[in-house]
Amino acid sequence: MNAAWSLLMALAWRNLWRNPRRAAITAIVVAAGLFSVLTLDAMMQAWAQSSRDATLELLTGSGQIHAQGWLDDPVLDHRMPAPSPELSATLNAAPIGGWASRVTVPAVIQSEYKTLPLSLMGVDPASEARISTIPDMVVEGSYLTGPDDGEIVLGRHLLERLRTQLGRRVIVMAQAADGTLAQRGFVVAGVFAGNTAIEDGYAFTGQRTVQQMLGIGSDISEIAFRVPDNGQLGAAVTSLKAAAPELDVKPWTALSPMAAAMDSAMGSYVWIWLGIVFVLMAIGIVNTQLMAVFERVREFGLLMALGMKPRLILALVCVESALLVGLGVAVGFVASAALTWGLSGGVDLGGLAQGAEYFGGSRMLYPHFDMALSLREAALIWALGVLVALWPAARAARANPVEAMSHET
């Protein structure tokens, strides 16, 4: 059996190169197809990741807890008390990796020059750092020091629009609990750079400062939590709901339907693409291998006349196809891995950054070559490619020695 196999391999390999141009073109078809599948996959994953990063890691977290009604209308009336001991215990336990409470209210910010609307967010810097990447995105000055911090951190773009700068005072006005318009002056302590929507939309200060300004005691408007293992998110949400049945606990998939939709759409899109590419590749493979078989009918007849069994002829053609498709798969795999690796430093969408944000991503994409998934896709393409090559192989095995020898070429 071994001898037969090594003979088959040797025959198959040489047969492959009898028509090098044809073999090369077929390999290119397979390589281009697989390349597009793998690269698309890497890019989509990078996009989904960037989309998750843009929403989840900036502010949203893995999930949030609010009072009922807050999500529809995020105003002070829909606030909630500080977490109960029971809720705190659940939040502090696995699988939750960190949590932060926040006070968020619609507000107006005023410089000497102009007035702009935004959300004022009172945070506890220590717990916030475990949830959000904004504390790390401060490009000028520094982030807040504690929940009592009375200074403010603003986005870079907002600062430009207000025509103010680090160290200057701004005035923030918001609806207080008693219905009056609370007003407070803040010194700009830090400037963060994120995406434009967040830069323009949020201002951060100490949580207790906001609570005092609005007169809400220790009440908060939301709790954001992080679950490091996305697979445990469902369980975490269930246990939080049990701990705080009167509150509205939502995973990020419900909070950021766009990021969630992206996530699931990307996955199915890649498989649809793989299907389309496969159909085309299959046509390319069958077309070439059928021709290769037709023009060698005499040769197969001769091999059979010499005593080779049809099964072995079938095996020979299959091995040839396996080598040919395998070659294309290898080239496509390496090319895609090389490109992805080359781009792993990050793809800067540059001038289209706002466009990326519009679709829920961010300006930088970090493609990552998922070796396990790519190997699986490559193996699938290879196996399917060999499978469709059974058609020409069966044609070859049906060759009749006598007929084949007199076959008109």
Partner 1 sequence: MLAVMAWRNLWRRPVRTGLSLISMVLTTMLLVFMLSFQLGIYDTMKGNALRLLDGFAQIQPPGYLADPDIRKTIAAPGDLAAAARKVPGVTAAAPRASTYVILSNGELSYGGAVIGVDPTAEVQVSRLQATVHHGRYLAASDSDAIVLGDVLARNLKLSLGDRVTLLGSSADGGIAADSLRIVGLFHTGMAEIDRQVAEMPLARFQESFGLGDAANVIALSGPSLGAVQRAQPALTQLAQSQGLVLRDWAALEPALQQGITLDFATALFWYATLVIVVVFIILNTLLMSVLERTREFGMLLALGMRPMQIGRLVWMELLMLSVMGNGIGAGLGAALAAWLQVRGIVFPGFEGALALWGLPPRLYPTLSWTSALSPPAVMVACIALAGTGVFLRLRRLEPVPAMRAA
Residue number, 100 or 323, with CB nearest to partner 1: 323
Write down the least CB distance from residue 75 to partner 1, Å: 5
Token pair of 76 as six digits: 């002070």
Return all residues near 264 (Cβ < 8 A) that are at least 6 apart. none
CA 94 from centroid of its chain's CA atoms: 25
Residue number, 353 or 390, with CB nearest to partner 1: 353
Q: Rule CB under 8 A: which of 200-239 touch partner 1?
A: none
Residue number, 146 or 355, with CB nearest to partner 1: 355
* 161 touches partner 1 (CB under 8 A): yes
Residue number, 149 or 200, with CB nearest to partner 1: 200
Write down the least CB distance from residue 128 to partner 1, Å: 24
Write down the least CB distance from residue 148 to partner 1, Å: 26
Contact yes or no for 134/194 (Cβ under 8 A) = yes
Q: What is the DSSP letter of 134?
A: G
Stretch that binds partner 1, among 62-70, 143-151, 283-291, 315-323 (CB under 8 A): 283-291
* 306 touches partner 1 (CB under 8 A): no
Stretch that binds partner 1, among 32-40, 61-69, 86-94, 304-312 (CB under 8 A): 32-40
- Going by DSSP bridges, is the β-strand pair 98-110/247-251 parallel, antiparallel, or unpaired? unpaired
Among 86, 136, 295, 348, the residue binding partner 1 under the rule CB under 8 A is 295
Q: What does each C-alpha distance from 264 to 48, 268, 340, 370, 376 come to in angstroms? A: 9, 7, 22, 17, 19
185 in helix, strand or coil?
Answer: strand
Residue number, 7 or 261, with CB nearest to partner 1: 261
Question: What is the end-to-end Cα distance of the chain in Å, rounded?
Answer: 33
- Going by DSSP bridges, is the β-strand pair 181-192/138-141 parallel, antiparallel, or unpaired? antiparallel
Q: What mask, x for binding partner 1 by CB under 8 A, covers residues 105 to 144?
A: -xxx-----xxxx---------------------------
Contact yes or no for 155/193 (Cβ under 8 A) = yes
Residue number, 139 or 265, with CB nearest to partner 1: 265
* 14 touches partner 1 (CB under 8 A): no
Write down the least CB distance from residue 19 to partner 1, Å: 8
Radius of gyration of the chain (CA): 31
CA 312 from centroid of its chain's CA atoms: 46
Contact yes or no for 215/176 (Cβ under 8 A) = yes
Q: Rule CB under 8 A: which of 336-395 touch partner 1?
A: 349, 351-360
Q: Please state whether 141 falls in left (phi above 0), alpha (psi between -120 and 50) or beta.
A: left
DSSP string, 72-136: TS-SGGG-BPSPPHHHHHHHHSTT--EEEEEEEEEEEEE-SS-EEEEEEEEE-HHHHTTT-SGGG
Q: What does each C-alpha distance from 221 to 71, 108, 118, 211 come to in angstroms? A: 10, 18, 16, 10
Write down the least CB distance from residue 254 to partner 1, Å: 9
CA 368 from centroid of its chain's CA atoms: 10
Residue number, 32 or 397, with CB nearest to partner 1: 32
Among 20, 178, 245, 246, the residue binding partner 1 under the rule CB under 8 A is 178
Among 28, 364, 373, 394, the residue binding partner 1 under the rule CB under 8 A is 28
Among 261, 379, 383, 402, the residue binding partner 1 under the rule CB under 8 A is 261
| Long-range contacts, stretch 305-309, CB < 8 angstroms, 24+ apart | 305/401, 305/405
Please state the length of the chain: 409
Chain positions contacting partner 1, by CB under 8 A:
19, 21-22, 25-26, 28-29, 32-33, 35-36, 40, 43, 73, 75, 106-108, 114-117, 161, 173, 175, 178-181, 196, 257-258, 260-262, 264-265, 273, 276-277, 279-281, 283-284, 286-288, 290-291, 295, 349, 351-360, 409
